[in-house]
């Protein structure tokens, strides 16, 4: 590995294994399960940064450190726009990793330090291959995302580090694409909004976004709905898996990011007009939009 064994040894004590228990009735349980395992990293004494999907809807969270000490933790902040979450430990304060002050560069060497299911730690190195925008199959888009050739050797929420051991991002998704194995959320989304997140538990300066509750993919310049979350606004309004989104509020749709941008220009509660192609005909569906944060509260 490009990262030395000594460097890895220095950063591992700040890595954490997380276990979250989610009630069966929570709307995320049917998608993500009721027991979730993840990684996290200490960013301030008593504060652990991870990805939101690990703790979304959690009734309880446990944090286990490298020395096998397990302590309870509580959710103190969730940012639905970027996908990060902050949990706070109860009665344990470990040394924190220093966050990188400047963005990564294309081609820069990095490594991932992750917790595994047996509370061991694993690392894997690689290089940065993209720093552009990224949109996902759910209603999520980052203006700046980190894509790397490093494989995530453990659980989601792992630390992405530079070769000085500074925290550069939080691992979110395994993409399994050539040259784009792992997606990480840049650490700037935490450092630039840390005080706001800790004070309010969310980004209050981030405008509320209309939310429909579907999953979609792009096929030949068309956006196809892959699924709709039960009881979400789109489901209640009549959107269905297999619908091809032709237009939103009268604007022709040719890509997923365009669809999200149009949707997020509206506020929760606004009526969003979808024109979809289904069963060889075009249908007009008016969707009273919702708020993802309230739906998953």
Under 8 Å between Cβ of 151 and 140? no
**Predicted model pTM:** 0.94
**Could you tell me which residues are beta bridge partners of residue 60?**
21
Under 8 Å between Cβ of 56 and 292? no
Residue 9 phi/psi, 5° resolution? -60, -35
- Rounded Cα distance between 205 and 189, Å, is 13
Joined together, the tokens standing for residue 226 give: 């892959």
- Rounded Cα distance between 152 and 37, Å, is 14
Under 8 Å between Cβ of 97 and 167? yes
- Residue 101 is predicted with a pLDDT of 95
**Residue 192: exposed, middle, or buried by beta-carbon count in 10 A (0-12, 13-18, 19+)?**
exposed
Low-confidence ranges of the chain (pLDDT < 50): none
- Residue 3 is predicted with a pLDDT of 67
- Rounded Cα distance between 247 and 264, Å, is 15
Q: What share of the chain is helix, strand, coil (3-state, %, to 5)?
A: 15, 45, 40
Helix (H) or strand (E) run with residue 272 in it: strand 271-278
- Residue 113: name the closest of 203, 206, 40, 216 by CA: 40
Provide the pairing of β-strand 244-248 with 167-177: unpaired
Under 8 Å between Cβ of 274 and 287? yes
- Rounded Cα distance between 96 and 41, Å, is 8
Under 8 Å between Cβ of 79 and 120? no
- The 10s digit of each residue's pLDDT in 86-102 is 999 977 778 899 999 99
The DSSP call for residue 233 is H
- Residue 178 is predicted with a pLDDT of 75
Provide the pairing of β-strand 271-278 with 244-248: antiparallel
Under 8 Å between Cβ of 241 and 228? yes
Q: Which domains does the chain have, with CATH numbers?
A: 7-94+195-200 (2.40.10.10), 109-189 (2.40.10.10), 214-295 (2.30.42.10)
- Rounded Cα distance between 222 and 272, Å, is 19
């Amino acid at each position: 590995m490009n990262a030395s064994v000594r460097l890895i040894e220095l950063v591992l004590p700040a890595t954490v294994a997380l276990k979250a228990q989610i009630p069966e009735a929570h709307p995320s349980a049917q998608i993500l399960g009721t027991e979730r395992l993840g990684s996290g990293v200490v960013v301030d004494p008593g504060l652990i940064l991870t990805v939101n999907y690990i703790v979304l809807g959690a009734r309880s969270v446990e944090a286990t450190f490298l020395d096998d000490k397990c302590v309870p933790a509580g959710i103190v902040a969730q940012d639905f726009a970027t996908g990060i979450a902050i949990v706070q430990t109860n009665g344990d304060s470990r040394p924190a990793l220093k966050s990188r002050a400047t963005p990564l560069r294309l081609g820069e060497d990095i490594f991932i330090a992750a917790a595994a299911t047996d509370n061991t730690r694993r690392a894997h190195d690689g290089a940065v291959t993209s720093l552009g925008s990224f949109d996902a199959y759910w209603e999520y888009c980052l203006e700046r995302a980190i894509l790397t050739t490093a494989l995530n050797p453990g659980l989601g929420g792992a630390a992405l580090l530079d070769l000085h051991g500074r925290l550069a991002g939080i691992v979110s998704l395994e993409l399994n694409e050539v040259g784009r194995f792992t997606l990480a959320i840049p650490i700037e989304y935490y450092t630039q909004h840390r005080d706001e997140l800790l004070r309010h538990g969310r980004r209050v300066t981030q405008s509320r976004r209309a939310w429909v509750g579907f999953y979609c993919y792009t096929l030949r310049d068309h956006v196809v709905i892959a699924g709709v979350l039960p009881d979400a606004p789109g489901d209640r309004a009549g959107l269905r898996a297999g619908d091809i989104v032709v237009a939103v509020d009268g604007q022709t749709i040719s890509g997923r990011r365009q669809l999200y941008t149009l949707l997020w220009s509206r506020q929760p509660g606004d009526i969003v007009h979808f024109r979809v192609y289904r069963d060889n005909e075009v249908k007009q569906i008016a969707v009273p939009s919702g708020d993802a944060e309230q739906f998953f509260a």
